[in-house]
Chain A
């Protein structure tokens, strides 16, 4: 018995969470290597779409899986950033990096405003408040003079990165998008594994207890909300340049629903789940596009099956099998 305790103790000391787990480094490395060779076999625009949604879903997952807050209005940040960066590139003639920055900043400001009001409510009420605000943003996008109403903002110029690198070629733009999204994913990884992230997970697990330990939980919730909105904005702004289009689809509530779906199917609260979820959903939309409205039904069926059979999501189930956090 004593020796048993002893071994436990030793392994406990060994396994102290110092630094990044090696398997995470390996997965990020393999992912990067895959992204570098992928355009040789896969269509770059499809890959860029997957990447933008992977970042979007990961941003939502930061809020939902690690902050315990279900936002049903994340399209507001994705879409408004998309509009602002499209407008900045087309009308103001900004370079792509500045256009993306402008869109991301707009999402951050919007996140601060909506977040400050939404975090006063909890659970389903929080979700409803975010949805209500997102609908207001949608209405604004429909009515405002600069958004182009039903048409959206079309033919957005991709421009020259830093005024030098022409992004008109899909291949060139692809590697810029890889850099942005990969950077965004690493940022999220760091946030989750920071002192801030630790407090965040504690609040997610047991909010009253976090309060009783002296943490001002609302400030943490607002901070993570703004971070999540900002990263969702980064994804939306990038998407606008990829498709040279900002449209009502980006701010519509179905977009908010879709990103929740991606996160849940991939595995909320996991690091790599949203990537897998986004890939599955985007691939389905692309390759089954010929099925028309049936894609939505197929998505619905997959969602029902995944909720019934593996509630932790694809990556969540794999993580349980290999007994390692993913």
Chain B
């Protein structure tokens, strides 16, 4: 409520009246969302609340039926997914998104390679890419994957794949990260590790994440938007939304925690 009233807030990503209609039902219905620059913003809600659809709309993997999305004041509603990455918004995926047959080093290098623009130079040896090796290795070291630099990414255990995914994403130096259930399917010790990693990378960045794990949400996020049946139910800090009677009914009362 306060974010709309307070005009001085620096909003990096905003959605106005975002709606997605599928044949027969409305998955997302008139959602307004404002993400403040530099914050960690979480999108939560019970199953079927439209979180994932909303997330896919914001990352442009789905086209909204109506509504507008602005990033840094620029209307990005009509842009393609690859185009918004170029503007500085990078998403992660629920299923860990690595390139399984490439090595860990090559995975990170694919992201760094973006800096040369489009790589259509099929006549050059890939040796020209070794210019990125040093930086790729330091990104890999950041997430503790150095011993696996030359292993095929597909052979890594799950938690390490997520770490690799984060290293790859960070190599793009995005202004904003959209994380789709970063803790999904993760063992407890991995949750703590990735949680710390997210906190560390949130410096100088904005993060919007969809997450089920409420303790992670409580621990990490500055602001939370609760969705239910495709609409915004409440918004505020964890303390605020967790006391909201409607949220308790729709979400916590529904058997979570």
Residues of A near any B CB (own CB < 8 A): 4-5, 8-9, 11-13, 15-20, 190-191, 193-199, 201-202, 204-206, 208-217, 219-220, 223, 227, 269
Contacts of A220 in B (CB 8 A): 120
- Most B CB contacts (10 A, CB to CB) among A12, A193, A220 go to A12
Docked Cα-Cα span, A19 to B128, in Å, equals: 10
B236, chain A: closest CB distance, angstroms: 30
Q: Which of B80, B90, B122 has the most CB of A within 10 A?
A: B122
Q: What's the Cα separation between A197 and B123 when bound, in Å? A: 10
Please determine whether A208 and B125 come into contact, CB atoms closer than 8 angstroms: no
- B125 pairs with A193, CB closer than 8 A: yes
Pair B133/A12 contact, Cβ less than 8 Å: no
Interface residue? B118 (CB, 8 A):
yes
Given the known interface contacts A16-B105, A201-B102, A202-B99, the answer about A190 and B133 at a Cβ–Cβ threshold of 8 Å is no
> Which residues of chain A are near B120, meaning CB under 8 Å?
196, 219-220, 223
Query: In the complex, what distance in Å separates the CA atom of A16 from the CA atom of B172?
Result: 21
- B binding-site residues for A, Cβ under 8 Å: 59, 61, 80-82, 85-86, 90-93, 97-103, 105-106, 109-111, 113-114, 116, 118-130, 133, 137, 146-150, 168, 172
User: Taking A201-B101, A212-B97, A215-B114 as contacts, is the C-beta distance between A195 and B147 under 8 angstroms?
Assistant: no
B91 touches A193 (CB 8 A): no
13 more A-B residue pairs beyond the given contacts A196-B122, A212-B81, with a C-beta to C-beta distance below 8 A: A12-B105, A194-B121, A194-B124, A195-B124, A196-B120, A197-B126, A201-B101, A208-B93, A209-B93, A211-B85, A212-B82, A219-B120, A223-B120
Q: List 23 A-B contacts (CB under 8 A).
A: A8-B146, A12-B150, A13-B137, A15-B150, A16-B150, A19-B127, A190-B125, A191-B122, A195-B122, A195-B128, A196-B121, A196-B122, A205-B98, A206-B97, A208-B97, A212-B97, A213-B90, A213-B114, A214-B114, A215-B114, A216-B80, A216-B118, A219-B120
Contact B122 A227 (CB under 8 A): yes
Write the chain A residue with the least CB distance to B114: A214
Question: Are A209 and B133 in contact, CB atoms less than 8 angstroms apart?
Answer: no
The residues of B that contact A227 with a CB separation of less than 8 Å are 122
Main secondary structure of the interface of A (DSSP, over half): helix
Name the B residues within 8 Å of A13 (CB-CB): 137, 149
Q: Report the Cα distance A219→B146, complex, angstroms.
A: 33
- CA A223 to CA B121, docked complex, whole Å: 11
Do B93 and A212 have beta carbons less than 8 Å apart?
A: yes
Cα(A205)–Cα(B80), bound, Å: 21
Q: How far is the CB of B103 from chain A (nearest CB, A)?
A: 8
A19 to B100, CA, bound (A): 22
- Knowing A202-B110, A212-B90, A215-B114 are in contact, say whether A16-B102 is a contact too (CB < 8 A): no
**Docked-complex contact A213 and B59, CB < 8 angstroms:** no
| Bound Cα distance from A19 to B124, whole angstroms | 11
Contact yes or no, B123 A190, CB < 8 A: yes
Contact flag A5-B146 (CB < 8 Å), given A16-B133, A214-B82: yes
- In the assembled complex, the CB of B55 is this many whole angstroms from the nearest CB of chain A, namely 12
Sort A-B residue pairs by CB-CB distance and give the 5 closest, nearest first: A214-B85, A205-B99, A8-B147, A196-B122, A195-B119
B147 touches A12 (CB 8 A): yes
Given contacts A194-B126, A198-B126, A205-B99, contact A212 B121 (CB under 8 A): no
Are B121's CB and A195's CB within 8 A? yes
Q: Select which of B92, B98, B105, B116 is within 8 A of A195 by beta carbon.
A: B116
Report the minimal beta-carbon distance from A189 to chain B, rounded to whole angstroms. Answer: 10
Q: Flag if A199 contacts B113 (CB, 8 Å).
A: yes
A220: nearest chain-B partner, CB-CB:
B120
